[in-house]
Amino acid sequence: MIAVTVAAVLGIVTLIKTLASVNTGQITDDPKGNPSVSQKPENNEQNEPTETSMAPVENKVLVLNFENDILTVQNPGANPRVSHITGNHTLVLEIYDRISEKYGDFDLSNSTYFESMSISEEENGTRIVLNAKSDFNIVVESNEENYVIRVIDVQNAGKLIYRNDLDRHYMAIDSAALCARSDSEIVYYEEYFDSYNLVKKLVIPKKNMPALNDEKVILNDGYLKSYEIKNVDDDIVMIFTLEEDLTLYPNARDYNSTLTFIKNRTEENLIVIDPGHGGLDGGTVSAGEVLIEKNIVLDISAFLAEELRARGFNVYNLREEDVFLGLKERTDIANHLGASSVISVHVNAYDDTSVNGSLTMYKDSLDLARSIQNNLVASIRSTDIGLVKMMDRAILNGAKMDSVIVEIGFLSNPIEAEKLNIEEYQRKASAGIADGIAEYYENKENTDGTQGN
């Protein structure tokens, strides 16, 4: 049990002010932060403060109690925000314009769900973070005095997984068929959108879904306020209450389907990183299948995202884990995002194991390809195979923005394969690609500026 209580925080001065406010009938704040007026005798309905009236008193100290997996906040102020981060099993509660008596980390060893809780002072109030042992659901109850979060079991664990801790927010539904096949535009559900209330509803025949229990999951993660599952006759109805308008993009997987939740980011210089392959599609392999392309490019892409963010770019990494994405799905997501460029990261293979080096493929984006190729080769000191114009690659044909495919090296070459598996080499490769992207955008900005004069 963790209890944080109000002790001498307000002190004697607050007590004096409080007594004065009761006597003068001044304006105070109620527990939700809304102004209210203390009662005065009926013959003084205006209750105008006089020159001798004391300043209003605001009790901004909150009281926290965690017991039996129930978090109770007394004096929560107005509009507390609870956020459920699903991938790393974290619950975040932000209390605005309120302070706590105690801050720091607390042990929750007696909790069924949570391992620890931390309370920190923020610029606009207090932040409470609870770290869970596994996935969970919550029920929120509130009144004028208390804000209560009760933790409950997940009803559809293992059948439905929502991830909001990655760049790509998605929901994977086991044994579901939302569309005909991977990258198919034929869907097996009806979608309805209430634009006023920002609610999207999918009506899916039960024959295309696993058996799901009715459930509502609160999220408030910047994408969804909540999602709800309802069994209605022969259909399963999925209700998504959005924080802003989103595209729900369906795609088929092996034995399941996914919904990707996509914002139109409308950000300048938004770079979509596409780590090749993933899931059952491993890509090329080294001798003896010791190294697999999907794993190598996953690591390099993570370093590339880090490098680009350090240079001030906005980044969206399509694959931060070992999952499958369809080819059309990758470019469709980039198009929905309104990205500036797509960089698809791969490694190569060839029958002749002596072949080594780097190459960059393009269709229309020659300048971007050249800049990346030159900087990549210089960074890792690889053989410069050069630029290859390709007309039959989905990632190049489907993207509505600059797009290239970077083949960093050859897993079929034993020497190069060994290098590609070393973190330092991977970081050098990602830095070279990032240098090329930065150079391209700098040149583009200078050219656009010159043309505008």
Condensed to tens digits (0 to 9), the pLDDT of residues 321-357 reads 999 999 999 999 999 999 999 999 999 999 999 999 9
Same domain, 165 and 248: yes
DSSP letters of 38-58? Answer: ----TT--S-PPPTTPPPP--
Q: Is 106 contained in some domain?
A: yes
| Residue finishing a domain among 231, 262, 293 | 262
Same domain, 387 and 438: yes
The residues, ordered by sequence, that sit 6+ positions from 301 with a Cβ below 8 Å of its Cβ are 273, 274, 275, 317, 319, 345, 430
Mean pLDDT, residues 254-264 taken together:
93
DSSP letters of 254-311? Answer: TTEEEEEEE-----TTEEEEEE--BTTB---B-GGG-SBHHHHHHHHHHHHHHHHHHT
Same domain, 305 and 370: yes
Same domain, 302 and 409: yes
Q: Is 51 contained in some domain?
A: no
SS3 423: helix
DSSP state of 187: B
Distance CA 283, CA 294 (A): 6
Same domain, 70 and 90: yes
Query: Do residues 341 and 403 touch, judged by C-beta distance below 8 A?
Result: yes
Same domain, 131 and 26: yes
* pLDDT tens-digit readout, 155-181: 999 999 999 999 999 999 999 999 999
Q: Is 50 contained in some domain?
A: no
Indicate the number of domains in the chain.
3
* pLDDT tens-digit readout, 302-311: 999 999 999 9
Same domain, 297 and 212: no
pLDDT at 33: 35
Same domain, 298 and 419: yes
pLDDT at 297: 98
Same domain, 76 and 165: no
Query: Do residues 375 and 439 touch, judged by C-beta distance below 8 A?
Result: yes
Antiparallel, parallel or unpaired: β 270-275 and 256-262: unpaired
| Residue finishing a domain among 229, 262, 295 | 262
pLDDT at 450: 52
Same domain, 312 and 426: yes
* pLDDT tens-digit readout, 186-228: 999 999 999 999 999 999 999 999 999 999 999 999 999 999 9
Mean pLDDT, residues 275-292 taken together:
93
Out of 41-45, 78-82, 359-363, pick the least confident.
Answer: 41-45
Name the more confident of 253 and 416: 416
At residue 145 the predicted structure's pLDDT band, cuts being 50, 70 and 90, is: confident
| CATH number, domain with residue 164 | 2.60.40.3470
Same domain, 331 and 231: no
Distance CA 169, CA 163 (A): 6
| CATH number, domain with residue 121 | 2.60.40
Q: CB burial class (10 A; 0-12, 13-18, 19+) of residue 231?
A: middle
pLDDT at 448: 74
Query: Do residues 171 and 160 touch, judged by C-beta distance below 8 A?
Result: yes
| Residue finishing a domain among 85, 119, 152 | 152
Same domain, 225 and 286: no
Range of the domain at 248: 160-262
